[in-house]
Chains A and B, each alone.
Chain A
């Protein structure tokens, strides 16, 4: 063995040298470690006796260019996996990138030997595979994201269509301006898109009752739905009574207020009519209005409405005196202990709650 080759023991890659007869001239320490084959055993022997792949014509024809004219040869890990089979501690074969270069024989000019430099690329390949896998995962996630975004745009479009079809006026207000409004809103205000685009939220409200945008923003940003009745003014200066609901939203990535207006002008007119009719009926004595809670009666004294006790009212209209007693039902409910005692001592004629027995005494 050429003693100059020993320098290859200092390099951390697998190196061996063969002549054109495939006889091993050198075998370095790294290869001893990888294969368990010592230099003493392999040097001087035909490498085909140790590794069958060197009998393969497709390897030999490549190596011919090294031996015949000294051109380098590469055996990549992608197309060959490995040149010298050796296992890693995890049992897998070591992936190898092999470069074969030529070295001219010291004594015989024009005779080339082949130096195999074998780099262990298992770790590198593993990392490349992991990187690719990671990239693929990112790609899948990106595709899902694009799909979700497309669906979101589609559903936003659908929602917009639905909003356009609804009878309620829907708006989005940002910085006091109507950045979005549906057809119903335009129709409600008897306006046009261009005019509305230039108006502020405050411009639309009648002078009597106004909520400014700052207050509105404060109300909705607490997170609750803010309900309020507003008087809006249409383009012909008519007042429109609306029931409005506001809540916070985002529009094109910025904070905004979503508003839904329901025109209640007709409802309010009807309510006013009913109130007038009720008032007229009370005046004419056709209707008695009794408080649902205290049972006081609404009375018109010729000038104004007052609430009087039912006793006073009945006494006034009937001209009779009024006295108080307690019925069996209330006695039993309000004073159960007295009722029990009373029932036992007065077992004479007594009317029951449902009136089924006739021989009980009434109070």
Chain B
């Protein structure tokens, strides 16, 4: 599937607006200053995405929020377990281990993910002037394949936004992934076409 540069620009814009809002909200509620940046966006098929990450067996932490409306899908905030532990440690000042699943880690990441995903989806919803229904946010751990297939079985395309968190002189890498079917993506393209 061919994605035009202009479309990528629009995605970038929508996500940047969302990320900007999320950053402002996070700085309001956290005692630590945090900066967010989305340097790169790509649109990939699921096999290409899995191939590109080259981390087939690595365990990731993800916060998922499903959405339904003109084009159904799911939005994910994904971290490697190491990055997730670093982020939570920096935010709550509590040492969190890479391989530890606990209430502190899941609770904190759920809220951070909720803020980011709400802002990004809110931005998409505003720009495309569409309304979505959202499911509740869920925290999950697993391989990328498991996380994506468990969340949205029909996934064929992913909009991947590399997201950098700058916090306490640390750069923590994450990804915002918007999972969609090909049909959903075409509907979204049409919606973007109307505003270009």
Q: What's the minimum C-beta distance from B122 to chain A, rounded to whole angstroms? A: 6
A78:B111 contact, CB within 8 angstroms: yes
**Which residues of chain B are within 8 angstroms of A80 by Cβ–Cβ distance?**
29
Q: A42: CB under 8 A from chain B?
A: no
Q: Tally B residues with Cβ within 8 Å of A.
A: 32
Instruction: Among B30, B103, B111, B136, point to the contact of A101 (Cβ < 8 A).
Output: B136
Q: What's the minimum C-beta distance from B23 to chain A, rounded to whole angstroms? A: 13
Q: B65: CB under 8 A from chain A?
A: yes
B107:A78 contact, CB within 8 angstroms: yes
Q: B163: CB under 8 A from chain A?
A: no
Instruction: Among B88, B103, B115, B135, point to the contact of A121 (Cβ < 8 A).
Output: B103
Q: B42: CB under 8 A from chain A?
A: no
**Which residues of chain A are within 8 angstroms of B155 by Cβ–Cβ distance?**
none
Given A61-B25, A78-B92, decide whether A70 and B134 contact each other with a Cβ distance below 8 A. yes
Q: B108: CB under 8 A from chain A?
A: yes
B111:A132 contact, CB within 8 angstroms: no
Q: B82: CB under 8 A from chain A?
A: no
Instruction: Among A62, A72, A132, point to the contact of B102 (Cβ < 8 A).
Output: A132
A72:B114 contact, CB within 8 angstroms: yes
A72:B111 contact, CB within 8 angstroms: no
Majority secondary structure of chain A interface residues (helix, strand, loop or mixed): helix
Name the interface size band of chain A. Answer: 20 to 34
**Which residues of chain B are within 8 angstroms of A77 by Cβ–Cβ distance?**
103, 107
* Further pairs besides A62-B25, A132-B104: 17, Cβ < 8 Å: A69-B125, A71-B134, A72-B118, A72-B136, A72-B137, A73-B114, A73-B118, A77-B107, A78-B92, A78-B104, A79-B30, A79-B108, A80-B29, A121-B103, A121-B107, A124-B103, A132-B94
Instruction: Among A65, A74, A131, point to the contact of B111 (Cβ < 8 A).
Output: A74
Contact with A along B106-134 (1 / 0, CB 8 A): 01101100110011011001000001111
B29:A65 contact, CB within 8 angstroms: no
Q: Give CA–CA (A73, B110) in the complex, Å.
A: 10
Listed from nearest, the 5 A-B pairs whose CB atoms lie closest are A58-B28, A76-B111, A76-B107, A74-B114, A78-B108
Given A62-B25, A76-B110, A79-B92, decide whether A69 and B131 contact each other with a Cβ distance below 8 A. yes
Q: Give CA–CA (A217, B111) in the complex, Å.
A: 68
**Which residues of chain B are within 8 angstroms of A58 by Cβ–Cβ distance?**
25, 28-29
Instruction: Among B25, B122, B136, point to the contact of A99 (Cβ < 8 A).
Output: B136
Contact with A along B78-89 (1 / 0, CB 8 A): 000000000010
Q: Give CA–CA (A58, B91) in the complex, Å.
A: 17
Q: A57: CB under 8 A from chain B?
A: yes
Q: What's the minimum C-beta distance from A120 to chain B, rounded to whole angstroms? A: 12
Given A58-B29, A61-B25, A79-B29, decide whether A69 and B108 contact each other with a Cβ distance below 8 A. no
A74:B29 contact, CB within 8 angstroms: no
A-B contact pairs, 20 of them (CB 8 A): A57-B28, A65-B119, A65-B122, A68-B122, A69-B122, A69-B131, A70-B132, A70-B134, A71-B118, A72-B134, A72-B136, A76-B107, A77-B103, A78-B88, A79-B91, A97-B107, A121-B107, A128-B103, A128-B104, A132-B104
**Which residues of chain A are within 8 angstroms of B25 by Cβ–Cβ distance?**
58, 61-62
Q: What's the minimum C-beta distance from B30 to chain A, rounded to whole angstroms? A: 7
Within residues 125 to 152 of chain A, which ones have a CB less than 8 A from any CB in chain B? 125, 128, 131-132, 135
Within residues 64 to 87 of chain B, which ones have a CB less than 8 A from any CB in chain A? 65
Q: A22: CB under 8 A from chain B?
A: no
**Which residues of chain B are within 8 angstroms of A74 by Cβ–Cβ distance?**
110-111, 114, 137
B132:A69 contact, CB within 8 angstroms: yes
Within residues 39 to 91 of chain A, which ones have a CB less than 8 A from any CB in chain B? 57-58, 61-62, 65, 68-80
